[in-house]
Amino acid sequence: MLSLESFGNIVEELSLCALWLIVICVAAGTIFSRHLLKSLAYLAIFSLVSACLYLSMQAPDVAITEAAIGAAISTIFFLAAIRSVGEKEETPRKHIFVALLIVGGFTLTMLSTIVDMPAYGDKNSPANTGSSKSYVEESYQQTAIPNVVTSVLASYRGFDTLGETLVILAAAFSVLLILPSRKEESDAV
């Protein structure tokens, strides 16, 4: 007879498989859609489902970042870009086979690295035996920050986080410089 715990594990595994299937289908929809607004909707769904996958991996900080940047901010930037270029792709797709071949090769390369990875949650993996163990055990004494994730991001990786923030800021300014202003649009009409 099936116990309640094993039934819960089966349901959890099935829901993870369903999320991965949704990610794959939405990615395919994004690639093959010729309508840019549909592709944008697919990308937003992709980000939200990815956030759910991050939550299932017990990474709520990454999930929140993915939802905020991937589904919200990126969608706003893409909407602004679509407004300036139009909603429909006008150029014919000449090199789709080459693109699929490159993406397929990249995917196979990424999947081949999985065999060398330690098992998920393995207590003897480098992530669980290296410096992260000292972060968990000693971060409050060293930084006086009660949240371990915040102490790592704000103290131990402060300059790295600052660099990441500057990269995001530079990307935002680049997008704003690329998009035409309303004055330029009215002059073109």
Q: Identity (one letter) of the amino acid at 26?
A: V
Ramachandran sector of residue 144 (left: φ over 0; alpha: ψ -120 to 50; beta: rest): left
21-35 confidence digits (pLDDT tens) = 999 999 888 888 878
Residue 56 is encoded by which pair of tokens? Answer: 């299932």
How far separated are the first and last CA of the chain, in Å rounded?
72
Nearest Cα residue to 42 out of 19, 83, 75, 76: 75
pLDDT for position 22: 93
27-73 confidence digits (pLDDT tens) = 888 888 878 888 889 999 999 999 999 888 878 878 888 888 888 88
Model's pTM, two decimal places? 0.57
Nearest Cα residue to 79 out of 32, 47, 35, 37: 37
Residues in the chain, pLDDT under 70: 1, 89-93, 180-189
pLDDT for position 185: 56
pLDDT for position 183: 60
How many Å separate Cα 183 from the centre of its chain? 34
